[in-house]
Amino acid sequence: MGVYLCFDNPWRPNLQLVHTDAKQLDSMISFTCNLAENVSSKVRQLDLAKSRVQEAIRRVNDVLDLKFCTDGVQTALQNEDYEQAAAHVHRYLTLDENVLKQVTPDSKEDSGLDASLQLLHEAEQQLKAIVNVKFDDAVKTRDLASVERFFKIFPLLGLHDEGLKKFSMYLCTQIANTSRQNLEIALGTESNERRANVIYADTITLLFEGIARVVEIHQPLIETYYGPGRMLSMMRSLQKECDIQVKKIIDSFIKNREFDKKAQQVQQNMMSSYKTNVNQADRLDPRELDVMLAEVTLANARTELYIRFFRRRVLADLEVIDLNATEKQEKLSQLDKVLVNCELSRGMQELIGHYIMMEEYFMRETVMKAIKLDAMESGAYTSSMVDDTFFIVKKSVRRAISSSSIDCVCAMLNHACILLESDFCDVLYNKFRTGFPSGSLDMTQAYNLLQQGKLPTASTADSNAVKAAFLTTVNNAEVSGEYVITLKKSLQDQCTSLYGYTSEQGKAKLESCLSDLGNVSNKFKDVLQYGLNQLNASAIKPRIKPMVDAFLSANHNITEEEFSNYEANDPFVQHFIMSLEQLLHTFKSSLTTSNYDALVSLLTNEVVSQLEKAVMKSVFNRLGGLQFDKELRALVGYLTSVTQWTIRDKFARLTQMATILNLERVTEILDYWGPNSGPLTWRLTPAEVRQVLALRIDFRSEDIKRLKL
Amino acid sequence: MEDYKYLFKVVLIGNAGVGKTCLVRRFTQGLFPPGQGATIGVDFMIKTVQIGDDKVKLQIWDTAGQERFRSITQSYYRSADALVVVYDVTSFESFRCLPDWIKEIEQYASNKAITVLVGNKTDLIEDREVSLDNGTNFASTHEMRFLETSAKEADNVDKLFLDIAEELTKRVQVHEVEDSKDEIAICSQNHTVSATYNCCRW
Ligand SMILES: Nc1nc2c(ncn2[C@@H]2O[C@H](COP(=O)(O)OP(=O)(O)O)[C@@H](O)[C@H]2O)c(=O)[nH]1
Ligand SMILES: [Mg+2]
């Protein structure tokens, strides 16, 4: 306003006036300011006063409540309305006694308040005692409604831990009673009843299911009245009872199934098998273990299921409450401790430990029996022991898998490896070591004799039987190598059913043991190679040499006339092929395709190496070279026709020799040599080329010498 | 395929509490684990080490010492290339049990496996109950290699495992040379090298 005046008359400034105005304005502002300050401080005081009034009202209310509680708790207790009484006590427990006492420090009311507090305090103690007794009574009389009624009152009195402990104990007695009844029923089961074979595993299962049901029903109740985060302590209490009951069931199982007795016998039998073959009668028949072993794995699978349930429940409950990292870690390690150290886990570990030993015995003994009872069947390449052995191994490992215990599966996979790669391979090796008798072979006769289980009378029949057995063993080795890979795959597939709840560590263990099993196929390859080499050495090599000798007696230094005469009267190769055919024929029907091909391959090697030597000992003229070329083509053609493998490459050197022996002139070799070789890779050294050239009776040695190769 | 030339299996055995798990964790993870629980069944760790020009993968099986896991742990002996028997130098009891462990090895392990005796916890000087001589004598009687270690102080732990890896590698390589000589002698094609030592080759 004043400033405005100042500009009102710009051309006649009146500074004096402006100054006065400004002063006035200043005093006005500070007045207003003081006023405002004053008002706001009053308001603040008012605020404070208001909140004090409110506090006071609340305290008054508290005091009134206290009086109400004091009166109410008496009435409620008299009426046995314990919920109401507890509600009063609960209200009283939320009040701060000391603050209350300050409200009326000097007044006469003081003594009244004290008396009220005293009364309430007594009522609280009284109620606590009553609730304890009533709860116990309800448990004794199995008054479920009252149990639940008083269970809900504990937390109102601040007795969370005690209430939960008592309630858990109540649940435990329930679990115990049911379990006892179940065990009695189990023990009374007739052996011909449907599930008699797994009755103890079933009884353990019932126990777990009972506990699960208890948790299922009561967890919501506990959460509602006690708040979340109480599952670990509840489950820990329940587990104590579970341990007691499980022990009873396991003890009955051990006693009635003669588990320990059998385990001991197995242990003794296993030890003795390392030394001498003791009296067979003393050995436990593996069939006696079969059913019992299945029951152990079932019990363990159920236990693992239950433990996973336990863990899941506690973890889910811990998720709900607010915990810092260390608190959470602490809870988790407590959980682990309960699960690792509980009697249930230990008991099952003991059982599984013995199970593995007995399962190994079952597998080993049954396989040994299958080997002992090995029989050849006409029409089958392998003998019975191969199918039987792999069937048994598969059965045992699958059973181990059904236990859901990774360590148990791994142990049985290890035992399967040891059995197959040591014991079973040794059996095959030993059969090979007896060797393959030389002389011709009549397979039909051999099979007949073996099938009838007769001791062959004639020595040829005898050796035929040995030969048939040998060839079967070759097949056994080959097929075993394939079976072991199939077995690994099938077990691996089955193991994936465990992966859902297996740690990375567990999976790595399984994978490692499975891959070891797969590697056993390499051991079978070694055995097979050994057998084939034996066969080659005794049945092929000695037969090929005399056959090839015929080549030496066939003249390859021939006239036109002789050459065309050979068309009609072949001097060597037709007969040679026939002999090979005959030789192979005896094996063709007795070996698997793959083994037969392997044998043809070995035979081809032998033919090639013998024939090379024979060629180097012969002499040729041009027509003789042509004749040899024809012979070679026939031979390669024949051998190609009998096998699925390519054998042409094996003939590379001989084919190149034929090429050389077919040359018109010595120098013609240069059309095929060095830069002119084109796609041809020479397998003959320059020295060998000269050697072959020298076989041509019509080539001059000076020409050969002069060649630059 | 993974990048390693040889794979060897090492199995640790010995009484519970002598420090097998700590030795393995020290070697594979470079730490001394605080208060972990006792091993259940078997644990399995892998570490690849460099031996000369070759990468060698050690598959280390850490076993539980308690009796009830014996049938699980025994199943690993046969395929072990090396067995490490551990005792605790502060526990005469653990030393006294060694013959039982030796018996296990004789019964179940391959006779080609290397055996090593290890006295662990040398850092607990005050509490020592088994002298260095005790260990040395026992090892020489049973023809075992011998080493004292402290998993806690990382004393001799790397040496323990690296020596094993080196020795096994050397053995396979000697074997390979012999095999190739055999191959020339036999001169048969398709000759598969029989793996007398339990190792895989790439
Ligand atoms: N002082 C000391 N304590 C060790 C050593 N190695 C292991 N321990 C402790 O010995 C206890 C058992 O170790 P652990 O590796 O679980 O033994 P394991 O049962 O043989 O596997 C643990 O408390 C370790 O902390 C060591 O070298 N020195
Ligand atoms: Mg351990």
B68, B194, B200 ranked by CB distance to A353: nearest: B68
User: Same domain, yes or no, for A435 and A530?
Assistant: yes
B90 lines ligand 1 (CB under 6 A): no
User: Same domain, yes or no, for A377 and A465?
Assistant: yes
CB contacts under 8 A, A 408-437 vs B, are 408, 410-412, 414-415, 417-418, 422
Q: Give the model's confidence band at A634: pLDDT under 50 very low, under 70 low, under 90 confident, else very high.
A: very high
CB A350 within 8 A of CB B68: yes
Kindly report the CATH number assigned to the domain that includes residue A692.
1.20.58.1970
Answer whether A414 sits within 8 Å of B75, measured CB to CB.
Answer: yes
* Section B139-158 average pLDDT: 96
Beta-strand pair B6-13/B54-63: parallel
Higher-scoring residue by pLDDT: B157, A675: B157
Beta-carbon count within 10 A of A343 CB: 16
Residue A233 within a domain: yes
Q: Give the model's confidence band at A383: pLDDT under 50 very low, under 70 low, under 90 confident, else very high.
A: very high
* Section A489-518 average pLDDT: 92
Residue A84 within a domain: yes
pLDDT digit string, tens, across residues A427-457? 999 999 888 886 554 555 555 555 555 544 4
Higher-scoring residue by pLDDT: A282, A304: A304
Type of residue at B57:
K
A99 pLDDT more than 70: no
CB contacts under 8 A, A 322-381 vs B, are 336-337, 340, 346, 349-350, 352-354, 356-357, 360
pLDDT confidence of residue B6: 94
Q: Does A282 touch chain B (CB under 8 A)?
A: no
Q: Tell me how far the alpha carbon of residue B17 lies from the centroid of ligand 1, in angstroms.
A: 6
Q: Chain B residues with CB inside 8 Å of A509's CB?
A: 42, 44
**Dist CA A129 CA A122 (whole Å):** 11
Q: Which atom of ligand 1 is nearest to the CA of B16?
A: 19
Domain endpoint, select from A357, A387, A413: A357
User: Same domain, yes or no, for A170 and A61?
Assistant: no
| Domain hosting residue A377, numbered range | 373-538
Q: Which atom of ligand 1 is nearest to the CA of B12?
A: 20
User: Same domain, yes or no, for A577 and A613?
Assistant: yes
Mutate to test the interface with A, among B9, B47, B72 (most CBs of A within 10 A): B72
Q: Give the model's confidence band at A265: pLDDT under 50 very low, under 70 low, under 90 confident, else very high.
A: very high
Closest CA to A249 of A220, A210, A275, A290: A210
- Helices A343-372 and A406-418 pack at an angle, to 10 degrees, of 20
- Please report, rounded to a whole number, the percentage of residues in chain A having pLDDT higher than 90: 56
B42 lines ligand 1 (CB under 6 A): no
B156 lines ligand 1 (CB under 6 A): no
B120 lines ligand 1 (CB under 6 A): yes
B94 lines ligand 1 (CB under 6 A): no
Q: Does B190 touch chain A (CB under 8 A)?
A: yes
The tally of domains found in chain A comes to 4
User: Same domain, yes or no, for A497 and A618?
Assistant: no
Residues 6 or more apart in contact with residue A629 via CB below 8 angstroms? A658, A659, A661, A662
Q: Does B107 touch chain A (CB under 8 A)?
A: yes
* Section A391-404 average pLDDT: 97
**Dist CA B7 CA A203 (whole Å):** 46
Distance (Å) from the C-alpha of residue A415 to the closest C-alpha of chain B? 6
**Dist CA B199 CA B79 (whole Å):** 10
Q: Give the model's confidence band at B182: pLDDT under 50 very low, under 70 low, under 90 confident, else very high.
A: low
Closest CA to A476 of A435, A437, A438, A427: A427
User: Same domain, yes or no, for A187 and A117?
Assistant: no
B104 pLDDT more than 50: yes
Distance (Å) from the C-alpha of residue B42 to the closest C-alpha of chain A? 7
A114 pLDDT more than 70: yes
Higher-scoring residue by pLDDT: B192, B63: B63
* Section B129-149 average pLDDT: 96
Distance (Å) from the C-alpha of residue B32 to the closest C-alpha of chain A? 18
Q: Does A515 touch chain B (CB under 8 A)?
A: no
pLDDT confidence of residue A441: 47
Q: Does A600 touch chain B (CB under 8 A)?
A: no
Q: What is the DSSP string of A589-608?
A: TTS-HHHHHHHHHHHHHHHH
Max avg pLDDT among A23-37, A83-97, A658-672: A658-672
User: Same domain, yes or no, for A346 and A391?
Assistant: no
pLDDT confidence of residue A69: 73
Q: Which atom of ligand 1 is nearest to the CA of B14?
A: 20
CB B14 within 8 A of CB B85: yes
A116-120, A248-252, B196-200: segment of lowest average pLDDT = B196-200
Considering just the CA atoms, what is the radius of gyration of chain B in Å?
18
Residues 6 or more apart in contact with residue A640 via CB below 8 angstroms? A646, A647, A648
pLDDT confidence of residue B92: 97
**Dist CA B71 CA A432 (whole Å):** 34
pLDDT confidence of residue A390: 98
pTM for this model (two decimals) = 0.84
Answer whether B78 sits within 8 Å of A519, measured CB to CB.
Answer: no
Domain endpoint, select from A140, A158, A176: A158
Hey, is B116 helix, strand or coil? Answer: strand
B187 pLDDT more than 50: no
Beta-carbon count within 10 A of A50 CB: 10
Can you name the CATH fold of B6-201?
Rossmann fold (3.40.50)
B160 lines ligand 1 (CB under 6 A): no
pLDDT confidence of residue A709: 81
User: Same domain, yes or no, for A455 and A471?
Assistant: yes
Mean pLDDT of chain B: 88
* Section A598-607 average pLDDT: 95
B73 lines ligand 1 (CB under 6 A): no
User: Same domain, yes or no, for A179 and A325?
Assistant: yes
Higher-scoring residue by pLDDT: A298, A441: A298
pLDDT confidence of residue B202: 36
Mutate to test the interface with A, among B44, B59, B105, B187 (most CBs of A within 10 A): B44
Q: Chain A residues with CB inside 8 Å of B194's CB?
A: 526
Q: Tell me how far the alpha carbon of residue B33 lies from the centroid of ligand 1, in angstroms.
A: 9
A112 pLDDT more than 90: no
Residue A7 within a domain: no
* Section A56-66 average pLDDT: 74
Closest CA to A604 of A575, A631, A574, A580: A580
Structure tokens at A664: 């018109």
B18 lines ligand 1 (CB under 6 A): yes
pLDDT digit string, tens, across residues B20-77? 999 999 999 999 988 788 999 999 999 999 999 999 999 999 999 999 999 999 999 9
User: Same domain, yes or no, for A341 and A392?
Assistant: no
pLDDT confidence of residue A73: 74
Q: Tell me how far the alpha carbon of residue B19 lies from the centroid of ligand 2, in angstroms.
A: 7
B44, B72, B191 ranked by CB distance to A353: nearest: B72
> DSSP class of residue B155?
B
A47-61, A396-410, A494-508: segment of lowest average pLDDT = A47-61
Residues 6 or more apart in contact with residue A77 via CB below 8 angstroms? A85, A123, A126, A127, A130
Mean pLDDT of chain A: 87
**Dist CA A61 CA A360 (whole Å):** 78
Element (H, E) at A495: helix A459-499
B123 lines ligand 1 (CB under 6 A): yes
Q: Give the model's confidence band at A282: pLDDT under 50 very low, under 70 low, under 90 confident, else very high.
A: confident
Residue A365 within a domain: no
A364-373, A554-563, A663-672, B183-192: segment of lowest average pLDDT = B183-192
**Dist CA B185 CA B176 (whole Å):** 14
pLDDT digit string, tens, across residues A463-476? 788 888 899 999 99
Higher-scoring residue by pLDDT: A652, A709: A652
**Dist CA B98 CA B14 (whole Å):** 7
pLDDT digit string, tens, across residues A154-197? 888 888 888 899 899 999 999 999 999 999 999 988 888 888 89
Answer whether B72 sits within 8 Å of A418, measured CB to CB.
Answer: no
B200 pLDDT more than 70: no
Type of residue at A468:
A
**Dist CA A675 CA B94 (whole Å):** 77
pLDDT confidence of residue B184: 47
